[in-house]
A = this chain, B = another copy of it.
Amino acid sequence: MRTGKRHSPRGRKRSPGEPVTIGEVARRAGVSIATVSRVLNNVPRGVGPVLRKRVLKAARELDYHPNALARSLHQKRTHTLGLLITDIANPYYAGITRGIEDVSRRHGYALFICNTDRDPATMAHYIEVLREQRVDGIIIGGGGTPGRRHFQTLHDRGIPAVLIGRYDVPLPAVRIDNLKGGWEAATHLIRLGHRRIAILSGPMTSTSIQDRMRGYRRALKEHGLSLPKDWVLHGDLRPASALQLAERLLTARRRPTAILAANDQMAIATIRAAHQLGLRVPEDLSVVGFDNIELASYMSPALTTMGLPLYRMGVAAAETAIRLLAGTPGNEEAWFTPELIVRESTGPPPVVADRTIQPRQGPGSKGRDA
């Protein structure tokens, strides 16, 4: 069987829009394609200095950018990592992403960030896309479960993937001791003297939220405090939902003196709700958040919160992923423990019994009798 004569396969003319190919560089430098490849990839013991220089010159002149697709196709590696985040507006991911990014770059990986907006369908979509793009590894930054099947496949197929926070799928994970975090947050309030503590929680589909809840509950129970059903409300971790929920909590007949929020964004909105109702924080109401996002310390009052080393968590996730890729065995589970950061949004409960607050009142009625 004969291959038909090829008509100048590599070096044919380029219509202006088309990217330059290695063949054109070769032709311009008057060397073979193989030589160009060797020069550009710095193959050890490669090419003589004369040709090398010619190649470099030609590449520069043509502004040659190698086609990563072609290279990856052959090498079966893309030097690319995919990162799935649930909500790009949540500063939680900003810190994590920075950590991942720094490590990735240092190891020569590009990072493909995908924002799923907490929509399982979108998440499923992006997992497919990432697989088809043949990213070398996938980091799953958070919640949203698109039919566990998608994760299962990653696992079965041996596609390196690491989770952050969640651990509801059998994949390597960066773990957060949310149980302890929740416990500490609640205990902090209890120690301050609070006995009427409500919870502004998040979606219970998230293992992180589940654990925080369990931590809260455990602490409450340890001190014999009850938790009425209507003092547990679930938002979506974004501030808008918390504003409404907090208002409901604060205008109820029996009003809590403290609120545990599932994250900082919700805590901030809770404080806003309190202010709108004429309640002062922390004098009338204590609030503690979770995550310690950047803006937490710039609020007034500055937010008391359970701090998470977001950047370092990102670093750990990326390192785990890269270790997985390299096949280097190592600890597949990094643990991080939230740390209580006491600022200004918590204090002792008000001494005087409360009075019911009317929704949306001005600062005139502070809800205190004295």
Contacts and interface: CB of A to CB of B under 8 A. Distances in A.
A242 to B, nearest CB: 9
B88 A94 contact: yes
A272 interface: yes
Interface stretch (A95-103, A178-186, A200-208, A224-232): A95-103
B111 A114 contact: yes
Contacts of A93: 88
Nearest to A274: B300
Interface stretch (A26-34, A52-60, A127-135, A210-218): A127-135
A38 interface: no
A110 B89 contact: no
Looking at chain A, what size class is its interface with the partner chain? Answer: 35 or more
A13 interface: no
A319 interface: no
A41 interface: no
Contacts of A95: 89
A157 interface: yes
Contact of A268 (B110, B128, B269, B298): B298
Nearest to A79: B129
Contacts of A88: 88, 93-94, 97-98
B132 A67 contact: yes
A369 to B, nearest CB: 24
B294 A269 contact: no
Interface in A69-116: 69-70, 72-73, 76, 78, 80, 88-89, 91, 93-95, 97-98, 101, 105, 110-115
A133 B80 CA distance: 10
A98 B122 contact: no
A176 interface: no
B300 A300 contact: yes
A238 B294 CA distance: 9
A67 B272 CA distance: 50
Given A73-B67, A128-B65, A294 B89 contact: yes
Interface string A1-30: 111000000000000111100000000000
A239 B68 contact: no
Nearest to A113: B113
A265 B295 contact: yes
A331 interface: no
A68 B134 contact: yes
Nearest to A16: B158
